[in-house]
Structures are given as C-alpha cells and as structure tokens.
Amino acid sequence: MTALGLVAGYALDAALGDPRRGHPVALFGRAAKALEQRVWADSRARGAAYAATCVGAAAGLGALAQAATRRRPAARVAVTALATWTVLGGRGLANEGEAMAVRLESGDVPAARQRLGHLCGRDASVLDDKDLARAATESIAENTSDAVVAPLLWGAVAGVPGLLGYRALNTLDAMVGHRTPRFERFGWAAARGDDLANLVPARAGALITALCARVVGGRPGRSLRVWRRDAGQHPSPNAGQIEAAFAGALDVRLGGVNSYGGRTEDRGTLGDGPAPGVADLRRAVRLSRAAGLAALALAAVVAR
C-alpha cells in the first residue's frame, strides 16, 4: 500500500504541482514561526526542544493517519498519496528552473535576480547572467535531493510519519538552521537533524544522478568520478554530494564563493567543465526530472 501511495502521490505532484493557496507545508511553517517567536532563547537545549516538538507533531499526525487506515487498504493508499503530494516539490522545482531559464534567455537579468529567491536564499543583487545560471543549476541539484529523493526514501522506509516528519525537519532547517546570530545556537539541533536525515538520501541521489547522466548527454562514469573526487570540497555534508554528481553529469563547473545575507561561503570547485549557461540550466531540469523518476522506482521497491 505504501508503494502504491508513493506512486500516486508522485503522479499528483507531477500533474498538479503545489497548491497555490493553503499549502500544508506553508501552514506548518507559519505555525512553527509563531512557536519559535514564543520559545526562542540563545540555547541549544531550547532549540532542540523546539525542533523535537515541531517534528514530533508532524510525524505524530502521520502516525495517527497511518494507524486509522491500518485495516483499510484503499484509505491507506489515499492517505499516503496525499502526504506524498504534500511533501514533494518536483514539479515546482522544475517550473522554477524553467522560469529562470526564460528570463536569462531574454536577457532580463533584474527579473532573473528576483526569481532566484524562489529557489534559494542567495544574495542575487550583484549576480550577472552567468552567476545566476550557476546559482539556479546548483539549487536545482540540491533541491532534487531535498524535495524529491529524500522524502520518497523516507516515505518508503517509514510511511506517512516518515514523509511528514522529514518535511517538517527540512522546513525547520530552512527556517532556523542558518548560522546567524539569532539561530547559531537555537537552530543547531534542526540543522544537525536535517544533516543526519539526509546522509543516506543525498548519497543515493548522487548515485541516481550519475546513472541518469545519459538523459542529458552525459556519462555516468564521469559523474561518478566527479562525485567521489569533489563532493567533500563542499561545506555541506550532503548538498555537495548531489551537486558534484550534477556537475559531472552535465560536464560543468559548479561551486565558488556565494553570499547569503552578507555572509560569504566558499563552496569549493565541483567539476571540470565550463561554468553552466542557460542551456545547461535546462539540462539540469531534465536531469532532475529523470532522477525523480528513478528515485520513485527505488522507493517503490524499498516500500515493498
């Protein structure tokens, strides 16, 4: 039943994308923000309790839904499908990548800078067209793991609680996991928890990406080689895995120094090719879609 629900939920995301209003993840984010404003303290312990409460509530809701449908297979499939649709972001990710490509192809750099905020939190105010293409390509790669591969695998091994719990933790990391003065300590648990939750999915996503390289005219062997060689240069234990695999599959060079709200971060150098252009961004979207389908197949097998 879990495998069928995952497939149905993936199909819903591919056909419909994210709901325009009342998205459950957005509702969770608003509730988590309201709670954070009430309980914040410059304390790792307080932040860990906050993260446990938010993630536990989401996973607990999933556990209740799963228990309520234990003896009703059709209802179990429906609940799993709705949860999968809720947490996946494959179509939205592809749409944002294509929207960025359209703006860059038309030479509308100001519009592309504004659109980049839909993909990542990077400071786009001084980025030119080449920098924007690289930033978007990197974001497509990273979010293929975070918004597609990881939730599918967590759903495969832990059902509805895994789907909702993973998405709650990943959302908290985006909200409070940044190394800012306010969240350096309070967001530590959410950031480390998200790192742990993505250790296996990120590496599975990198392997899947390498195996799908031929979809975009790449070579699996080159993608595997760049992944093994360059992933460790990235400061994130997980994002560098799939970004390096994408760089090898697309035969482009990713990484470099990025700015996030005045904070700079050296992402190392991933890959041997030239900096990605708009055509490579479109290839990254195709690669992301192929990797999503492959991850779905893997998740369906694991769930059985």
- Quick check: 3 pLDDT over 90? yes
Q: What confidence tier does 259 reach under pLDDT thresholds 50, 70, 90?
A: low
Q: What is the pLDDT of residues 15-49, one digit of tens each?
A: 999 877 778 999 999 999 999 999 999 999 999 99
Number of domains in the chain: 1
Who contacts 64 (Cβ-Cβ below 8 Å, separation ≥6)? none
Distance CA 76, CA 4 (A): 9
- Cα torsion at 223, 228, 233, 239 (round to 10°)? 60
- Residue of 56, 135, 76 lying closest to 103 (CA atoms): 135
**Percentage of the chain modeled with pLDDT above 70:** 98
Can you give the pLDDT at residue 292?
97
Q: According to the 3-state scheme, what is the secondary structure of 179-219?
A: CCCCCCCCCHHHHHHHHHHHHHHHHHHHHHHHHCHHHHCCC
Tell me which of 54-68, 172-186, 203-217, 290-304 is least confident.
172-186
Coil/strand/helix, residue 19: coil
Residue 172 structure tokens: 């908290």
- Cα torsion at 141, 167, 183, 189 (round to 10°)? -110
- Residue of 58, 57, 52 lying closest to 189 (CA atoms): 52
| pTM for the model | 0.93
DSSP-derived letter for residue 274 is: P
Report how many helices (DSSP H) and strands (DSSP E) the chain contains, helices first.
Answer: 12, 2
- Quick check: 91 pLDDT over 90? yes
Length of the chain in terms of residues written: 304
- Quick check: 290 pLDDT over 80? yes
- The residue segments making up the domain with residue 229 are 2-303
Who contacts 8 (Cβ-Cβ below 8 Å, separation ≥6)? 77, 78, 80, 81, 84
